[in-house]
Amino acid sequence: MTIVKTLAEYQDLNLPESRGFIPTLGALHEGHMSLIEPSLQQNDCTVVSIYLNPTQFNKESDLESYPSTLSEDVEKLKQAHVDVLFLPDYQTVYPDNFAFRVTEENLSHRFCGKFRPGHFDGVLTVVLKLLNIIKPTKAYFGEKDYQQLRLIERMCDALYLSTEIVACPTYREESGLAYSSRNALLPLDLRLNVAPLLYQTLLTNQTLEMKQKALEEMGFEVEYLEEYEGRILAAANLSGVRLIDNVLL
């Protein structure tokens, strides 16, 4: 696996045109690895980026508490036979200091965007920059972050980007809890016994109001629980850790 940190280093690589790309914040888990598998199968070259993007964190405390496991991440990517790891710093990604940014005026203000102002400006801007740097044929995103997935798809359509956005099914722990780097911040008993109840509750044949009441009685602080595009989307805090999930109706 080749590791590059600058735009010039990446541009000097002689990579095939058929490239798959998985952008990440690091703290890699099985959910990330499930995105890498189809890329390896569908492309001549697979590129993964690790960049803890500060512009998508609306709370400094959330950024500071985000897990960082770079050495373990590098080993996982090597074992998965990833071709290139892109490890940029802030100056490489934001030479303009975030003076130019992508803003979406509709979906980004709902759901997660309502509770995390500015979050999707940071997400869309960094994804656009990375797509322009990597120039992938296909880029892979999980359906767990459904709102993010739809915004990225719409951005690529609106800006006429040639990259195909590939949606991948949510990858779950044995308990049903959707894989997330934030899961590591949960106390073990809550991760094993309470956090999975978010997914299980979304699957029940109840009204949205009943689902929300049940989650609150279990100790979740529900931010939103709504229907959208044939799915039920939810975000809830458990012991200060923010969890999101969605299921098909």
List the catalytic residues: 32
Return d(Cα 186, Cα 191) in angstroms, integer: 6
Structure tokens at 174: 């044995």
124 contacts 151 by C-beta, under 8 angstroms: yes
Backbone angles phi, psi at 175, to 5 degrees: -75, -15
Q: In what order do the strands lie in the sheet with 221-228?
A: 221-228, 231-238, 241-248
Return d(Cα 222, Cα 215) in angstroms, integer: 7
39 contacts 32 by C-beta, under 8 angstroms: no
What single DSSP character describes residue 182?
G
User: Which amino acid is it at 130?
Assistant: L
Three-class secondary structure of residue 177 per DSSP? coil
Structure tokens at 151: 């915004």
Provide the 10 A C-beta neighbour count for residue 221.
Answer: 13
